[in-house]
Structure formats: C-alpha cells, structure tokens
Amino acid sequence: MTLTATFEASARPPARSVPRGLVFVLPAVLLLLAIYIVPIIVLAGFSITDYRLGAMNWDFVGARNFTAAFADPVFIRALANTALYAAIVIPAGVFIALGIALLVYGRKSSRAFWETAYFLPVTATLVAMATVWQFLLHPSLGPVNTAITWAGFDPVSFLGNPALLIPTMALIGVWQVLGFNMVLFLAGLTAIPRDLHEAARIDGAKSPIDRFLTVTWPMLGPTTMFVVVTTSISAFKVFETVAVLTKGRSGSETLLYALYLEGFEYSNTGYAAALTLIFLAIVLILSIGQTLRMDRKVHY
C-alpha cells in the first residue's frame, strides 16, 4: 500500500505543467465533443420531444417515443427482420470467410488473384451492386433463375416472395463481408508461428482437423473476435440493399430503414431520434458483450 502511494505521489506532474498539459489534450477533447458527445446529447434531447423537422414548436413527451416504438408493429417487424438478417450474416460471413481464407492461404502463385477476387465486393458500392443482384436474381431475365430452371426446378422469385426477402438480402450481405473477413483471417493465419504447426505434427496431429483444432483455431482467436464484432455491427447496419431492392415493401423493413423512413420521409425527428438511441443501445450492448465474453477466451 505504501509503495503504491509513493508511486502515485511521484507520478503526479508538478503543478505548473498542468495548464500546458491541458492545452495539448484540448484539440482531441474538442473533436471528441463535436463529433461524438454533443450529437449524442442532442439526439437524446430530440428523443424525448415530439419535434418534427421544420416545426416551429415542440413539446416534451418524456419516454412516450420509446413506449410508442415498442408498440409499433413496423418497428417490431424491423427488429425481427434485422435479427434474422444478423443471424444469417454473422455465422455465414465469419465461417465461410474462414474457410476461404484457409483455402487461399494454401495457394502460392494464385493467392494474389483469389485475394483480389474475394476482396472486390468490399470496394464496390453496395447500391450499385444491389442493382446488379436485382438483375442476377430476376425471375425471368436473371442468370440465377436460368440455372435453376435448367436444373429442372421451378424459378424462385427471390425478391418477390416476402418470406425470401430477408434471406436473399442476407446472402448479398454475406457476399459483401466475405472479402474483408477473409483478408482479416489471412492476416491472422500469417501471424501463426510455423513452429507451432510443426510441433503439432511431431506431437502426432496427423489429420488437418487435429492441426486446425490444436493450433489454427485457437491461434486465430483474437482475429475471430474482431471479425465477429465488425460483422455484427455491419449486419445491424443493413440499409442499402433494403433501400434499393425492396424499399421495405412486404414487411421487409430493417432497423436502419425504418429509422430512415421516420426521420427523413415522414419527418418524425423526435421519434426517429428515439429509434436511433435504441439502435445504438443494441449495437453497443452486443459488441461490448461479445468483446468482454470472448476477450477472456482468446488472449492467452
């Protein structure tokens, strides 16, 4: 105890350098305030009013926006849709990317080609790509349905059948995140010391499954955690595909799309602010939860 006390006392800077220190942290503090803190406070302020964009006056409504949200069938549906979308995109986007990374990692001369090929969707704008997907999945014109009918099945109306809307968009979402996740996994694979694989081989890990379970998977822990968190966040933020492909018809709204409709189409700024806070809370709880839960397991 005494040691700690001495340490703290000696670590405290002399009084005259405090103002100078404050000057140095000021730019960062100002930026942080302007970009994150003040907007969130303003947002929280809006969320307890019935403010509509352009209106001259407004009233405080307390928590009424939040209670209204959970009674709103559109919002509940958007929540369920987003959950379904995330439930497909997160596992598929993480594990397929891992599989591809393992395959690409084994290539020598063609590795650069595969990396580029899988990474291209990440660099493309999703709005443009969604239009391409619309064509690909078109019931009569699209090559996907041509292939399905050629194989002897009935054509599938991917973007017409309400039950298929979210899964179809989830497939596009998976396609979009694969390349980024694959590159992350490749970086993780490269960082695994060769000695560990060799030690495992000598220890008797003959099958690739054994080597994967003994070395690769545990050593990829930190990478996997990062990939899961970023994929979850991008899954919850799904917006472009909905805006371009379905515009929320047949009950295919997602959280962000519902929020956009309220805020910018219907000008319900107060209500949209409340939805935004709910969205923020969900993303924050999920990512902090995942990080805390997994962090203990992946860092040795």
Partner 1 sequence: MSRQSIELSGISKSFGPTQVLKEIDLSVREGEFLSLVGMSGCGKSTLLRIIAGLELPDDGVVEIGGENVTSRDPADRNLAMVFQSYALYPHMTVRQNIATPLRMRMLPLAARLPLLGRLLAPRETLSQIDAAVEQAADTLQITHLLDRKPAQLSGGQRQRVALARALVRQPAAFLMDEPLSNLDAKLRAHMRDELAALHRRLGATFIYVTHDQVEAMTMSDRIALMIEGRIEQLGTPDDLYRTPATLSVARFIGSPTINLLPAEVTADRQVTVAGMETGLHAEEGPATLGIRAEDFHLASTGMPARLLRAETHGADRFLTCQLMAGDGSVVVLRQSASDRPSADADGKLHLRFAADRVHLFGADGRRRPVYVGGKVAA
> Can you give the binding site for partner 1, defined by CB under 8 A?
193, 195-196, 198-207, 209-210, 213-215, 218-219, 221, 300
CB 190 to partner 1: min, Å? 17
Measured between alpha carbons, how far is 227 from 208 in angstroms, rounded to an integer?
23
Nearer to partner 1, 102 or 205 (CB): 205
CB 107 to partner 1: min, Å? 19
Nearer to partner 1, 199 or 284 (CB): 199
Instruction: Provide the 10 A C-beta neighbour count for residue 202.
Output: 8
The pair of structure tokens assigned to 249 is 């018809």
The pair of structure tokens assigned to 104 is 């690409």
Nearer to partner 1, 59 or 203 (CB): 203
CB 209 to partner 1: min, Å? 7
Measured between alpha carbons, how far is 205 from 145 in angstroms, rounded to an integer?
45
- Residues with Cβ < 8 Å from 100, sequence gap 6 or more? 114, 118, 178, 182
CB 224 to partner 1: min, Å? 12
Nearer to partner 1, 16 or 299 (CB): 299
SS (H, E, C) 119-179: HHHHHCCHHHHHHHHHHHCCCCCCHHHHHHHHCCCCCCCCCCCHHHHHHHHHHHHHHHHHH
Angle among Cα 23, 26, 30 to the nearest 5 degrees reads: 160
CB 227 to partner 1: min, Å? 18
SS3 204: coil
CB 161 to partner 1: min, Å? 38
Nearer to partner 1, 72 or 210 (CB): 210
Characterize 37-50 residue by residue with b for buried, 16 or more Cβ atoms within 10 angstroms of its Cβ, and e for exposed.
Answer: eeeeeebeebbbbb
Measured between alpha carbons, how far is 101 from 227 in angstroms, rounded to an integer?
13
Measured between alpha carbons, how far is 155 from 199 in angstroms, rounded to an integer?
52
CB 270 to partner 1: min, Å? 48
Q: What is the DSSP letter of 220?
A: T
Nearer to partner 1, 206 or 249 (CB): 206
- Residues with Cβ < 8 Å from 272, sequence gap 6 or more? 259, 262, 263, 264
Nearer to partner 1, 150 or 300 (CB): 300
CB 202 to partner 1: min, Å? 5
Nearer to partner 1, 203 or 265 (CB): 203
